Amino acid sequence: MKIFSIPNAEPQSIHELMLRAEALAGLTLGELAAMAEVKVPINFKREKGWTGQLIEHCLGASAGSKTQQDFATLGVELKTIPINELGKPLETTYVCYAPLTNIAGIEWHSSSVKNKIQKVLWVPIDGRREISPQNRCIATPFLWTPNTLQDMQLRNDWEELMELIALGEVENITAKHGQYLQLRPKAANGSALTQGIGKNGQVIQTRPRGFYLKKEFTHIILENAFS
DNA sequence: AGTTGATCATGA
DNA sequence: TCATGATCAACT
């Protein structure tokens, strides 16, 4: 029987992080929440980020860290991902905000997307809606770094999307653009506005956008990890 | 308003 | 049925 206790400090090595993460496998969110002494929501209608924050806490991520990776000293980004009984993702994966102004000179190799996903600790969790949150089971976490093909796939989509943004087409971009990386609104609500580039190069107000990994892409990551 | 964590819910 | 567009909460 595996023993798990809530750590009180950040992991000092990848190895330590992975030991902690692997010890979560098989636990339900209810069991883990009990150890952390937090209440499990009946559903995620309001607390949509609850699972991610629980796992962060239980792996010893420093709370409220901004802009950089969850485990900055290790260069590791943590992502929970809801899956069904076949191991297929049930949701897309948020990566980061998309820059909509001052984008001249931004290259893929220095982009937020590329840097965010250089090293990701994926924590797959049974996310089937017919299972109550407290009974949802944590699967086996694994570390992932994009391979050459995956890097190229994301780069192609990223460059297409950034080109459209630079050309003042941001408001014509839909989630259908991009094969593996998509651009979608990312805000508290529809009234949130930020600056963007208009069709004639002027500054416009537009909804903030975020980059998301499409399910097809994360599905392949999961398949590779468990094959 | 911006960024972190994401899932919800409705139109196609 | 399912992805897109919208939304929720905490913290800064």
Report pLDDT digits (tens) over A155-183: 999 999 999 999 999 999 999 999 999 99
pLDDT over 70 (residue A143): yes
Pairing assessment for the beta strands A194-197 and A120-126 based on DSSP bridges: unpaired
Is a pLDDT exceeding 60 seen at residue A98?
yes
Residue A1 has pLDDT above 90, yes or no: no
- Structural domains in chain A, CATH included, are 14-226 (3.40.600.10)
pTM of the model: 0.96
Kindly report, residue by residue over A2-57, the tens digit of the pLDDT.
678 999 899 999 999 999 999 999 999 999 999 999 999 999 999 999 999 999 99
pLDDT in tens, A54-92: 999 999 998 665 667 899 999 999 999 999 999 999 999
User: Please, are residues A77 and A67 in contact by the beta-carbon 8 Å criterion?
Assistant: no
Q: What integer pLDDT is reported at residue A62 of this predicted model? A: 80
Residues in contact with A125: Cβ distance below 8 Å, sequence separation at least 6, in sequence order: A29, A51, A80, A81, A82, A83, A136, A137, A138, A139
Nucleotide C11 C1' to residue A71 CA (A): 18
Could you report the per-residue pLDDT of A205-221, keeping only the tens digit for each? 999 999 999 999 999 99
Do the Cβ atoms of A175 and A184 come closer than 8 Å? yes
Q: Which residue has the tokens 């949802």?
A: A136
Note the pLDDT tens digit of each residue in A105-132.
Answer: 999 999 999 999 999 999 999 999 999 9
Distance CA A166, CA A205 (A): 15
Please count the other Cβ atoms lying within 10 Å of the Cβ belonging to residue A69. 20
Would you say A215 and A92 are in contact if contact means Cβ atoms under 8 Å apart?
Answer: yes
* Strand B closer than 7 A to residue A4 Cβ: no
Measure the CA–CA gap between A81 and A63, rounded to whole angstroms: 20
Gap from A193 CA to B1 C1', Å: 8
Does A189 contact strand C, using a CB cutoff of 7 Å? yes
**In 3D, which of A18, A24, A49 has the Cα closest to residue A36?**
A24
The answer to whether A188 CB sits below 7 Å from nucleic acid chain C is yes
Check if residue A86 sits with its Cβ under 7 angstroms from strand C: no
Question: Measuring from the CA of residue A176 to each C1', which nucleotide is nearest?
Answer: C4
Tokens of A214: 């499409």
